[in-house]
């Protein structure tokens, strides 16, 4: 009887997504998903599974600032919708904090 050779374990697949502001590819877990719901509102999707058209935004505060300072123009283009001021204000509450400098 011959023994079967054990196959080496394959590396686990890590989904990649692109930030719609800086166009950097990153692991899906490092990005925040913004979604246009079927009702037409735009919300932050922490689960990454909500129904609707989604766009990914990296956790770099500069990217968040660009989205918020564009008055939703970048989001309108990414999600093919018109973002309301209320939606933009709700999204702003999820903005990541600035990272403190190392050793400070």
Structural domains of the chain in order of their starting residue, each with its CATH number: 16-92 (3.30.1230.10)
Q: pTM of the prediction?
A: 0.81
pLDDT (tens digit per residue) in 36-63: 999 989 999 999 899 999 999 999 999 9
Give the model's pLDDT for residue 104: 45
Per residue of the chain (104 residues), what is the pLDDT tens digit?
566 777 888 888 889 999 999 999 999 999 999 999 999 899 999 998 999 999 999 999 999 999 999 988 999 999 999 999 999 999 999 988 776 555 44
Q: Which token pair is 77?
A: 């283009």
Q: What are the tokens at 61?
A: 């505060």
DSSP string, the chain: -PPPPPPPPPPPP--EEEBTTT--EEEGGGEEEEEE-TTS-EEEESSS--SSEEEEEES-HHHHHHHHHTTTHHHHHHHTS---HHHHHHHHTTPPPPPPPTT-
């Amino acid at each position: 009887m011959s023994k079967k050779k054990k196959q080496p374990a394959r590396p686990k697949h890590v989904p990649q997504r692109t930030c719609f502001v800086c166009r950097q590819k990153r692991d899906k877990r490092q990005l925040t998903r913004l979604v246009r719901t079927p009702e037409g509102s735009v919300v932050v999707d922490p689960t990454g599974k909500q129904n609707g058209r989604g766009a990914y935004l990296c956790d770099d505060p500069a990217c968040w600032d660009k989205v918020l300072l564009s008055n939703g123009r970048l989001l309108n283009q990414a999600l093919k919708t018109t973002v309301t001021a209320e939606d933009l204000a709700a999204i702003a509450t999820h903005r990541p904090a600035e990272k403190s400098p190392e050793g400070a």
